[in-house]
Structure 1
Amino acid sequence: VEARLSRVPLIFLTADRPPEARDIGAAQTVDQVGLFGSHVKWAVDMPPADEGAARELERYARVTAARAAAVALEAPPGPVHLNMPFREPLVEAGAEPPVILDGPLIVHAAAAAPSPEVVAHLAEACVGRRGLIVCGPESAGLPAAQIVGLAKALGWPVVADPLSGLRAGPHDRTDVIDCADVIVRVPEALRALPEVVLRFGAAPTSKPFNQWLARQAGVRRILVEEGGVATAGWRDPDLQGDEVVSANPRALCEVLAAALPSESAPGDWAGLWREANAAAREAMREAIAGFADPFEGQAVLDLRAALPSGSTLVAGNSMPVRDIDSFFFNTERDVRIVGTRGASGIDGVTSTAVGAAAAGGGPVALLIGDLSFLHDVNGLWPTHRYGLDLTVVLVNNQGGGIFSFLPQRQAIPDRFEAWWGTPHGVDLRHAVTLHHGRHAVIDAGDQHAAIAEALARPGLDVLELRTERDRNVAQHSIVWARAAEAVRDALAAHA
Structure 2
Amino acid sequence: MSHQEALTKYLAAFITGLVQAGVKDVVISPGSRSTPLALMFSEHRDVRVFMNVDERSAGFFALGIAKASENPVGLLCTSGTAAANYYPAVIEASLSGVPLIVMTADRPHELRDVGAPQAIDQLHLYGSHVNWFAEMALPETGMEQFKYAKTTARRAVKEALGQNKGPVHLNFPLREPLLPVLDPYPFNEEEESIAIEDGILFLPHGKLKNIAEQLKGKEKGLIICGPIEEHDFTEAVTILAKKLGFPILADPLSQLRSSSMSETPVIDSYDAILRTEEAATALKPEVIIRFGGMPVSKSLSLYLKKQMDAEHYVVDNGSRWRDPNYSGTTMIHSNETAFCTGLASLIVEPHSLNWLSKWLEMDEMAKKVIAAHMELTEELEEGKAVYELVDLLPVESTVFVGNSMPIRDMDTFFHKNNKNITVMANRGANGIDGVVSSALGAAVYKRPLFLIIGDLSFFHDLNGLLMAKLQKLNINIILLNNDGGGIFSYLPQYGEPRHFEILFGTPTGLNYEHAVQMYHGMYTKILDWEGLKMAVLDAVSYEGLNVIEIPTDREKNLSSHREMWKKVSQEISLLLQDVE
Q: Is the TM-score greater than 0.5?
A: yes
What's the offset of the Cα at 1:439?
Answer: 1.0
Is contact 2:524–2:535 with CA below 8 Å preserved after alignment? no
Residue 140 and residue 439 in structure 1: after superposition, are their counterparts in 2 closer, same or farther (change >3 A)? Answer: farther
Structure 1, 441-450 or 218-227: larger mean CA deviation: 441-450
In structure 2, how many angstroms separate the alpha carbons of the residues matched to 1:125 and 1:72?
A: 36
Mean CA deviation greater in 390-399 or 288-297: 288-297
Deviation at 1:20, TM superposition (A): 2.3
Name the stretch that deviates more: 441-450 or 56-65: 441-450
2:301 matched residue in structure 1: 210
Q: Structure 2 matches for 1:116-195, cutoff 5 A?
A: 116-129=205-218, 130-139=220-229, 143-189=233-279, 191-195=282-286
What is the identity, as a one-letter code, of the residue corresponding to 1:113? F
Matched AA of 1:37: G
In the TM superposition, what are the counterparts of 1:315-334 in structure 2 within 5 Å?
Answer: 315-334=401-420
Q: Which runs of 4+ in 1 moved over 6 A?
A: none
Provide the residue aligned with 2:51 in structure 1: none
1:306 equivalent in structure 2: 392
Q: Secondary structure at the match of 1:5?
A: helix
CA distance in structure 1 between the partners assigned to 2:306 and 2:294 by the alignment: 15
**What is the count of residue pairs matched by the alignment?**
486
1:365-384 residue pairs with structure 2 within 5 A? 365-384=450-469
- Pick aligned residue for 2:488 from 384, 398, 403: 403
Given the alignment, which residue of 100, 112, 119 partners 1:29? 119
Return the alpha-carbon distance in structure 2 between the equivalents of residues 261 and 346 of structure 1.
46
Matched, 1:225 2:316: yes
Conservation of the 8 A alpha-carbon contact between 2:447 and 2:474: no
Cα distance in 2 for partners of 1:311, 1:491 equals: 38
Is 1:235 aligned to 2:318, yes or no? no
State how far apart, in whole Å, the 2-side matches of 1:75 and 1:93 are. 38
Partners of 1:243 and 1:197 lie apart in 2 by 10
The corresponding residue for 1:354 is 440
CA contact (8 A) 1:12 1:82 kept: yes
Q: Which stretch shifts more, 308-317 or 250-259?
A: 308-317
Q: Deviations over 1:419-466 (max 9, x none)?
A: 111111111111111111111111343523421321321100111111
Does the 8 A contact of 2:449 with 2:476 survive in 1? Answer: yes
Whether the 8 Å CA contact 1:142–1:201 is kept in 2: the answer is no
Q: How does 1:433-452 map to 2 (within 5 A)?
A: 433-445=517-529, 447-452=532-537
Q: Which runs of 5+ in 1 are unaligned?
A: none
2:384, 2:101 → 1: CA distance? 38
Structure 1-normalised TM-score? 0.94
1:486 pairs with 2:571: yes
| Structure 2 CA distance for aligned equivalents of residues 95 and 30 of structure 1 | 33
Q: What is the CA-CA distance between 1:402 and the residue it aligns to?
A: 0.6
- Give 1:104 deviation, angstroms: 3.0
Paired letter, 2:533: H
Give the residue type in structure 1 aligned to 2:286. Answer: E
CA contact under 8 A between 2:231 and 2:337: conserved in structure 1? no
Aligned position for 1:418: 502
Q: Gaps (5+ residues) in structure 2?
A: 1-90
Q: State the 1:243 CA deviation.
A: 1.1
**TM-aligned CA deviation for residue 167 of structure 1:** 0.9
2: CA distance between counterparts of 1:84 and 1:147? 44
Could you tell me which amino acid in structure 2 is paired with residue 315 of structure 1?
Answer: V
The structure-2 alpha-carbon separation of the partners of 1:92 and 1:194, relative to structure 1 and needing over 3 Å to count, comes to closer
Preserved contact between residue 196 and residue 219 of structure 1 (Cα < 8 Å): yes
Measure the CA separation in 2 of the matches of 1:214 and 1:141. 29
1:465 aligns with 2:550: yes
Letter in 2 for 1:222: Y
2:174 counterpart of 1:83: no
Q: From 136, 146, 152, give the equivalent of 1:46.
A: 136
- Give the deviation of 1:283 after TM superposition: 1.1
Q: Does 1:64 align with 2:152?
A: yes
What is the CA-CA distance between 1:68 and the residue it aligns to? 1.4
Which moved further from structure 2: 283-292 or 448-457? 448-457
Counterpart-to-counterpart distance in 2, 1:104 and 1:176: 45
Over the aligned positions, Cα root-mean-square deviation in angstroms equals 1.8
Q: State the distance in 2 between where 1:474 and 1:416 align.
A: 17
Deviations 1:222-249 (A, max 9, x none): 1001113xxx2x2111111111000000
- CA gap 1:9/1:261 in 2 versus in 1, 3 angstroms: same
CA contact (8 A) 2:308 2:327 kept: no
